[in-house]
Structure 1
Amino acid sequence: MNIPRPTAIDAAIATPPFQDARSARDWLKLLPLINVPVAHAEIRSAIMALNHSQIAALDRLKIIEQFRETIHVLQDGFLNRYTQKALPLTEIEHQSWQEALTLWQDLEHSYASIWQAAIAGQSDVTEYMTLLAERTLYYSLQVNICYILVHRVIPAAQWAQQFSHYTQAQRLGVAQQKAKDSLITIGGVTTPENIFIHSLLLSAANPFQYNLRNLMWISACLEVFSSRCALEHIAETLPNRPAFTIDFEHPAAPERRDRPSKDSEMAISTLQLAQALSKRIKLLRRGEMPEKIGLGTTLSLLAAETLLTDLYRQWCEHPVERCLPRRASQKTAQIGFGLSNLHQWMAIGRFTPPPQAETQISSEELMQIRLFGQTSASSQSAPVIRTQPWQVIDETATGLRLEAPAGDERIALQQLLIIQDQQQYLMGQIRWISEQDQQLTIGVQLLPGVPQAASIRAQDAARFGQTDYMSVLLVPALVALKVPNSLLLPTGWFRQGRLLELWDGYRKTRIRLVSILSRGADFERVHFVASGTMD
């Protein structure tokens, strides 16, 4: 078994602030939990020192068992410091993530080293063999989740370590034995194999497409769903559906294959999982609340049904071949982000700014027009349009996979973008995003329509007569695809029935907002209808 290395520590703080389980309990009572950063730093330092100490294995086990619940509370309180952020992370966000990751890694090391002592025959901890296997794999899973939370690809070394833990549990005959775990919400028991399958299925769920709430909900559900699966050489799946397969000679995330082809490969049986998911989806469609069927209170009924249906397709029903095959590509495309920036990009040579009434021109601007023929504003240089070259890895009729080095432009899930592909402009939003070795990879879901620059201003009774126009994008209707006229507006602008003045570069039109077609991180796509012309 590969035991993870403990985090390096300064010799000056190498001694833990306690000597045994009793003094550790007294120390824990004094931890300032109300101040999360300080408490997090103190307990992280204590665990580091514990891993370098000569404290007996049984006492170390008692200490970290006492610390578990507090550590999880602090780690949850630390999440808002590095999750739900645009990528690449800032220096402060990256440091916070690194501190959270280090704590999970040190806990994995703590349990793994005690487990190794039990394997070596240390009698006082031998009886905890199953518990130590479960805990070691549990914190290896937490390390994986910590990478996924910031859209980092799980390193090969981490997979190798986790596979090594599971292989050791199998060799010792404890992989299918139950261990009590108070952090398992339903039942309070699990097995090392269930934890390992939990990690594999989470990776197989295409986790880089989910926000924090959905991702943590999926992980919580997997505490139950992983018990419906097993690792076998001949896996049971839905008819004509391939199983997720792993190779112990090449540790990595599972892949769909028709069947294992060598002894080192095993597949995940998902037939019982498919039945469990299908049953819950049917109950949700009948109006059963998620908390009544063991799905918690985090998501609404509709959100839980949508997400569970997506997981069913990912884990149980997905064929080897895609419905829309990917075409490999070597071309480079220019990509732009940000609604205002995209408006300026689409306006080049194709958009005339809205006319300004004389009553809206200040006396200073009138004087400049009389003296110089223009205002100082009109003589300013053209705005800088931010675009970046991205490598197109592959593409389908409805999306693309793009890659570029991490730069100054920060991007996030569901963000709007426009792709310049030769002479055409494609509109899309980021479906998923991952980072590895300072390279960003994104999956783009294309949106129907051809974007055009436009400007709007409110015509509400409260804002009637305001002079400032807002830069937006206009997407004319596509009758063949049954796509109505729509506007891409900043988030928060939509209100059903709201009246706006639209300038499309040629004329003013009064419009009325009807409904939201889709939402993203930085935009709302809104259907509108004409409500009369304007002089």
Structure 2
Amino acid sequence: MKSNGTPPQLAIDTADASACKALIASLPLTNAREAHQTLVLLLTGLAHRPPPAAAYLEVLEATRAPAAFLQDELAQRYAAKPLPPLPAEGEAFRQLLALWQAMARAYAQVAQIGGADPRVQENLALICQRCVHYAGKAIIEFFRARREPTPGAWIDLHGYYATAEEWQIDGTAVAEPLGEASKSQSAVEAYAAILLVDLASPYSRSAQELAWICRWAQGFAPQTAVRPPDESTGANTFGIDLMRDAGARPLGLLQRTEAVRYFDTRSLAPTIQQALTRLKLGEPAAALGLGSDCPSALAGRLLLHLYKPWCLSAAPRRFPRRGADGIAQACLGFEPIHFHVSGSEFNQPDHVRIYSRDDMERIWTFRDSLEPGQLSVRGAQVQLGYPLERWTVADQSVLGFRLCRGEAGARIAHGQLLCLKPPDGEHFLLSQVSWNLMRKDELHIGIHVLPGVPQGIAARPTGANVSSSERYVRAFFLPAVPALKEEPTLVLPRGWFQAERVIEVFTDRPAKVRLNMLLNQGPDFERLTFTRL
């Protein structure tokens, strides 16, 4: 390859299958960027000048393992990152997506040019499975990058599956060396696995949870079925319209045409129920085929969340969303949130207040504007440094909002703590980002409001090794909400929770509390119950 400022070129003739396989074998996998670029060039060259169909298939099969490795390496540049993406993250995503889509098209091209080749015809089931697999990988990549699938992404997946169904080879299992749950898979199983991931609310999952869900979906897919609905198929089950650019939807929302299929997941219920029972009895997740990297407690909690969308009917939301409009104000970060919730800058209580040299210099410089008892003179500076962002309210429910804004503004991570003042609200509320995704050039987030009107407080550790002058950190108190059966809770910085740990909180006076149970957490906070001592 050349890299002297001109576009890189392949040094081989892609019509020569042996040369292509030699190039693949010599890929510099330790240089992921160069190796990935070489694969993209190879697939581009193959599309324009392919070898004979059977040899083309062999080249693609040789490409699969290094492509999977390089794609995972490239995905680390943007997966689990806040949104909106940085330019380098967006470019990495586009490169990765292009390779998955090119692989799907390449296998389809083999079937197209190999219509008269017996070796290709006897491998049509494998070709269809590979097409569905790679079109599905593209969909999964949108989920992992938290982006809305581009127009045509679902149509491509449906089209590849429909071809396998039309040829009556959708249920024929073929070897799948890259499978995590099984080393064989049919086209319909590859298709069903993507549908299961789509039903699992992928944008509301952490990167690790999504990886587990993708693996489990492969294992559970053989227990599902995709078939035309009949008169007994209920409207509240899930279905797919093969002519619609979307994933599974409640069957009652789809017009019953020849392109509609019923996604039958009823056989999953006893399997997942049995897995939940065994996890409760203490069996490791690995013994159930859920993976050695998944702790049993987390596996049980996630499986329980998946049981409803995977095993039950397409039930309506517990708290339906309703249309809303207006502008909400929001901010991120413990310091800005504490400032806006409490309405003032955070000051250390008098009994631990120690003036630093910087404090003394500011006090002297701004001595004429200081209020009695004020720790510092950062009021105006803080207010300027803690601006509120303006978000458009798309809709809302009892416990949350869906908000959107342009790309300009703070980057927001999944699960992050957010301070929100609704358009018609009098108070700032604490909330957690339950999902986030990019739709073209707009950032959309769903937030779950933490119950109770927050109060800004202070907290510090206690113990024999803790000084009496130990400084406090920002924290929040959320009062009980009897209507929602919510008890009082504390919101502390991430890493503070230990069961039975005793800490000191300060409102108008110090008090010791014992931490009881962790209710939920994000990358920057923990919400927990407590007992006053």
Quickly name the TM-score band, shorter chain normalised. 0.7 to 0.9
The residue aligned with 2:312 is: 317
The match for 1:248 among 235, 242, 250 is: 242
Give the TM-score taking structure 1 as reference length: 0.87
Would the aligned equivalents of 1:241 and 1:316 in 2 still touch at CA under 8 Å?
Answer: no
Query: C-alpha separation between the residues in 2 aligned to 1:245 and 1:346?
Result: 45
Contact 1:460–1:498 under 8 Å retained in 2 = no
SS of equivalent residue, structure 1 residue 217: helix
CA contact (8 A) 1:16 1:46 kept: no
- Correspondence for 1:269: 264
Name the amino acid aligned to 1:115.
A
1:38 aligns with 2:41: no
Residues 1:152 and 2:152 aligned together: no
Distance across 1 between alignment mates of 2:219 and 2:499: 42
CA distance in 2, matches of 1:369, 1:316: 64
Query: Contact (CA 8 Å) 1:419, 1:425: kept in 2 or not?
Result: yes
Taking the aligned partners of 1:355 and 1:492, their CA distance within structure 2 comes to 23
Taking a change above 3 Å as real, the CA distance of residues 436 and 480 of structure 1, as seen in their structure-2 partners, is closer
Q: Which residue of 2 aligns with 1:403?
A: 404
Other-structure match for 1:6:
none
Q: Could you tell me which runs of 5 or more consecutive residues in structure 2 were left unpaired when the two chains were aligned.
A: 1-5
In the other structure, the counterpart of 1:476 is 479
CA distance in 1, matches of 2:231, 2:196: 15
CA apart distance, 1:247? 1.7
**What displacement does 1:415 show?**
0.9
Given that 1:477 and 1:484 are in contact with CA atoms closer than 8 Å, whether structure 2 keeps it comes out as: yes
Distance 1:409 1:270 in 2: 40
Per the TM alignment, residue 281 of structure 1 is displaced from its structure 2 partner at its CA by 2.5
Match of 2:523 in 1: 521
Q: C-alpha deviations, 1:318-372, integer Å up to 9, x for none?
A: 44433322222123221222111100111226x7834556983357866876894
Q: Using the TM superposition, name which of 449-458 and 476-485 deviates more.
A: 476-485
Q: Cα offset for 1:248?
A: 2.6
What letter corresponds to residue 345 of structure 1 in structure 2? H
Match of 1:112 in 2: 108
- The one-letter code sitting in structure 2 at the alignment partner of 1:389 is R
Deviation at 1:454, TM superposition (A): 2.1
Pairwise CA distance, 1:84: 0.8
Residues 112-159 of structure 1: CA deviation (Å, up to 9, x unaligned): 11121134x344422221111111111101111111101111123111
User: Which piece of structure 1 moves more, 279-288 or 477-486?
Assistant: 477-486
Residue equivalent to 2:72 = 76
3-state SS of 2:391 partner: strand
Asked if the contact 1:235–1:268 (Cα under 8 Å) also holds between the matched residues in 2, the reply is: no
Partner amino acid, structure 1, of 2:430: M
**2:159 aligned counterpart, secondary structure:** helix
Q: Distance in 2 between matches of 1:487 and 1:199?
A: 39
1:65 to 48, 61, 64: 61
User: How big is the shift at 1:19?
Assistant: 5.7
Give distance in 1, aligned partners of 2:361 and 2:391. Answer: 47
SS for the counterpart of 1:33 is: coil
2:166 aligned with 1:171, yes or no? yes
**Contact 1:458–1:466 (8 Å) recurs in 2:** no
1:268 is displaced (CA, Å) by 0.8
Write the distance in 2 (CA, Å) between the matches of 1:310 and 1:33. Answer: 38
Asked if the contact 2:477–2:490 (Cα under 8 Å) also holds between the matched residues in 1, the reply is: yes
> Of residues 81, 85, 92 in structure 2, which corresponds to 1:89?
85
Measured after TM superposition, the shift of residue 482 of structure 1 is: 5.5
Distance 1:466 1:27, change over 3 A: farther
Does the CA-based 8 Å contact 2:502-2:514 persist in structure 1? yes
Query: What is the 5 A alignment of 1:303-342?
Result: 303-342=298-337
| Structure-2 change in CA distance of 1:110 and 1:478 (3 Å) | same
Matched, 1:412 2:413: yes
Q: Is the 8 A contact 1:151 1:434 kept in 2?
A: yes
Q: Tell me the CA shift for residue 22 of structure 1.
A: 3.5
Q: Distance in 1 between matches of 2:293 and 2:206?
A: 13
Deviations 1:11-32 (A, max 9, x none): 7615647664433443334322
Q: Is contact 1:236–1:271 with CA below 8 Å preserved after alignment? A: no
Cα pair distance change 1:359/1:474, threshold 3 Å: closer
2: distance between equivalents of 1:67 and 1:358? 64
Distance 1:173 1:51, change over 3 A: same
Contact 1:414 1:429 in 2 (8 A): yes
Aligned-pair identity in percent equals: 25
Do 2:54 and 2:117's aligned partners in 1 also have CA atoms closer than 8 Å? Answer: no
2:380 is aligned to 381
Contact 2:275 2:288 (8 Å CA) reproduced: yes
Change over 3 Å in CA distance of 1:365–1:76 after alignment to 2: closer
1:298 alignment counterpart:
293
Deviation for aligned residue 1:186: 4.3
CA deviation map 1:18-61 (0-9, x unaligned)? 66443344333432223333333333333333333342222221
Give 2:426's match in structure 1, choosing from 395, 411, 423.
Answer: 423
Structure 2 counterpart of 1:313, which letter? K
**Among residues 471, 495, 507, which one is paired with 2:509 in the alignment?**
507
Are positions 1:455 and 2:449 aligned together? no
Match of 2:395 in 1: 394
SS in 1 for 2:215: helix
Shift of 1:493: 2.8
Aligned to 1:446: 449
Whether the 8 Å CA contact 1:340–1:471 is kept in 2: the answer is yes
Structure 1, 448-457 or 469-478: larger mean CA deviation: 469-478
Could you tell me which residue of structure 2 aligns to residue 493 of structure 1?
Answer: 496
DSSP 3-state at the match of 2:419 = strand
Structure 1 counterpart SS, 2:221:
helix
Of stretches 449-458 and 127-136 in structure 1, the one that deviates more from structure 2 is 449-458
Instruction: Provide the rounded CA distance (Å) in 1 between the counterparts of 2:522 and 2:269.
Output: 31
Residue 4 of structure 1 corresponds to which residue in structure 2? none
Counterpart of 1:438, as a letter, is: D
Alignment size in residue pairs: 518
CA distance in 1, matches of 2:140, 2:224: 20
After superposing the two structures, state which structure 1 stretch, 43-52 or 434-443, moved more.
43-52
> In the aligned structure 2, how far is the partner of 1:189 from the partner of 1:231?
18
From the superposition, tell whether residues 306 and 495 of structure 1 become closer, same or farther in structure 2 (CA, over 3 Å): closer
Shift in alpha-carbon separation, 1:198–1:320, aligned structure 2, 3 A: same
Q: 1:280 aligns with which of 264, 275, 278?
A: 275
Distance 1:366 1:360 in 2: 10
What is the distance in 2 between the residues matched to 1:117 and 1:317?
43
- Summarize the alignment of residues 351-390 of structure 1 with structure 2, pairs less than 5 Å apart: 353-356=347-350, 360-361=354-355, 372-373=367-368, 374=370, 377-378=376-377, 381-383=380-382, 384-390=385-391
Q: Check whether the contact 1:13–1:49 (CA below 8 A) recurs between aligned residues.
A: no
Mean CA deviation greater in 164-173 or 199-208? 164-173
Would the aligned equivalents of 2:323 and 2:396 in 1 still touch at CA under 8 Å?
A: yes
Whole-Å Cα distance in 1 between the matches of residues 442 and 257 of structure 2?
33
Q: What does the per-residue CA deviation read over 1:245-274, in whole Å, with 9 as the maximum and x for residues that have no partner? A: 122332311101248623332211122223
RMSD: 3.1
Q: Distance in 1 between matches of 2:389 and 2:266?
A: 45
**SS state of the match for residue 156, structure 1?**
coil
For the Cα contact (< 8 Å) 2:229–2:260, is it kept in 1?
Answer: no
